[in-house]
A and B are shown apart, each in its own frame.
Chain A
Amino acid sequence: MRVNFTVNGRPQEADDVWEGESLLYVLRERMGLPGSKNACEQGECGSCTVRLDGVPVCSCLVAAGQVEGREVVTVEGLADYAAQRSCGTGACGTSLDEAKDRKAKPLDSQTGEGTQLAPIQQAFIDAGAVQCGFCTPGLLVAADEMLEHNPNPTDADIREALSGNLCRCTGYEKIMDAVRLAAARQGEAV
């Protein structure tokens, strides 16, 4: 079957989709967007979290055909999504802090250097919340959505909001640090 939907603001079409394919498979194997991860394919790990019409869902559990005509945001589109959101609240352009952050970037991030990042993405790097990184895309989408609704989360709020995202490397402490950091920076920027 054929499926049409919007991904990260761009209309996409997939042809010859097998009816049992998940949104995750279509994103990864048909649309060249492998950022959403295939860790469990049973909704238990959150690595494939995307926003479907704004709502965080496990893309492994959405049948491709169910996405017809809908809007999907993946980790690949998270920076743009966050930028548009801050524009929407009147905080366009580059703040002084953001400019400073960019200057302070590690010397060896030559790979991907200069990439515009969402605040939560930068916070994950800065706090050491990334090890193998396989859980990272899903956590970023989930954490970004939480901060959108709850800009000043308690630790228990963060843990609850991220309880659907498994990480096997970090023991979650640096992930907590990263979300606290992003919330604090978000607070400073407003």
Chain B
Amino acid sequence: MDFLRPASWEEALAAKAEHPTAVPIAGGTDVMVEINFDHRRPEYLLDLNRIGDLYEWEVGADSVRLGASVPYTRIMEHLRAELPGLSLASHTVASPQIRNRGGVGGNLGTASPAGDAHPALLAAGAEVEAESVRGTRLIPIDEFYTGVKRNALAPDELIRAVHIKKADGPQQYSKVGTRNAMVIAVCAFGLALHPDTRTVRTGIGSAAPTPVRAKAAEEFLNAALDEGGFWDNGRIITPSVAKQFADLCAAACNPIDDVRGTASYRRHAVGIMARRTLTWTWESYRGTAAHTEGVA
């Protein structure tokens, strides 16, 4: 095993070009577990800790450019207003120690369906800034996840940042685990209201081979909100609409049975989370969120 320590982003790209099998390591929260438990022996480890650029973020007019290694703790502390869904998701990541090290770049690189950030990114709308010595490209988040623990990166590419749409409305994130802290998702759900475009977006984690959106549910809800004039009249969403939305979210799942939960439970739980997060975000949009918002 070789340990590559690029001092700059350019050096990192050059190293990745020269050694496409090199495994990037930033927070180490995935890679080191695999090394400690002898599940993986990469030829090269490519350390990204010395590249300060990856730890920075810029808040633009429409989006936040979030460096790949910005720790979850900082997202929670500094980007709660701009990225409420991702901020809530960050709070559910493992433990304080892990949140101090791990960042969204690692979640994307690993592309595990259980990664906590994915549903929030899908719901908010995001693009992954991937770069190689060949150049930079922005990969829409909907096209990023290509299979179980596979993503759209080319072998010589590294994730530099994620461009996430700034919230233009309430966002929520919810995750089921069998413990009250420090738990891997049995399944997770992200929801973002986008009043500017009068749309909603969703994200589902751990309930399909990849993180997915519940597109049929989004379309149904968009139409229902539109038809009822809900965006303008701010009425309470009718239970039948919420139920239909929840059922369609559950139907968007394609889960498996594993040691963390059964497929049918995952479907069921995604439905419940969809209904609850819709209630929370909608009540917030209506401005009556006092008892439903939640703090942590």
Contacts and interface: CB of A to CB of B under 8 A. Distances in A.
Contact of B29 (A61, A142, A163): A61
Contacts of A161: 96
Contacts of A44: 94-95, 182
A27 B98 CA distance: 19
Interface in B39-57: 41, 45, 47, 49
A46 to B, nearest CB: 6
B98 A66 contact: no
Contacts of B27: 61
Given A41-B36, A43-B97, A55-B101, 14 more contacts: A20-B35, A22-B32, A22-B35, A43-B29, A56-B97, A58-B29, A61-B28, A63-B45, A65-B45, A142-B97, A163-B180, A164-B94, A164-B97, A165-B95
A142 B96 contact: yes
Contact of B95 (A20, A46, A55, A62): A46
Interface residues of A, number: 28
Given A22-B32, A41-B37, A163 B5 contact: no
Contacts of B98: 43, 58, 61, 164
Contacts of A12: none
A161 B98 CA distance: 12
B100 A63 contact: no
Contacts of B181: 160, 163-164
A65 B100 contact: no
B152 to A, nearest CB: 26
Contacts of B31: 63
Interface of A: 1, 18-20, 22, 41-44, 46, 49, 55-58, 60-63, 65-66, 68, 142, 160-161, 163-165
Interface in B81-106: 94-98, 100-101
Given A42-B36, A43-B94, A68 B5 contact: yes
A4 to B, nearest CB: 12
Contacts of B28: 61-63, 66
Q: What is the interface residue range for chain B against chain A?
A: 20 to 34
Contacts of B258: none
Contacts of A165: 95
5 contacts: A22-B35, A56-B100, A62-B101, A63-B45, A161-B96
B46 to A, nearest CB: 11
Given A42-B37, A62-B101, A56 B96 contact: yes
A49 B3 contact: no
B196 interface: no
A63 B96 contact: no
A165 B33 CA distance: 17
A86 B248 CA distance: 57
Contacts of A66: 25, 28, 47, 49
A68 B49 CA distance: 10
User: When A and B form their complex, which 10 residue pairs have the shortest distance between CB atoms, in order from nearest?
Assistant: A164-B95, A163-B181, A19-B3, A19-B1, A65-B3, A61-B32, A41-B36, A61-B28, A42-B33, A66-B49
B2 interface: yes
Most chain A C-beta atoms within 10 Å of own C-beta, residue among B95, B98, B101, B296: B95
Given A41-B36, A43-B33, A58 B182 contact: no
Contacts of A63: 3, 25, 28, 31-32, 35, 45, 47
A60 B36 contact: yes
Contacts of B100: 55-57
Contacts of B101: 55, 57-58, 61-62
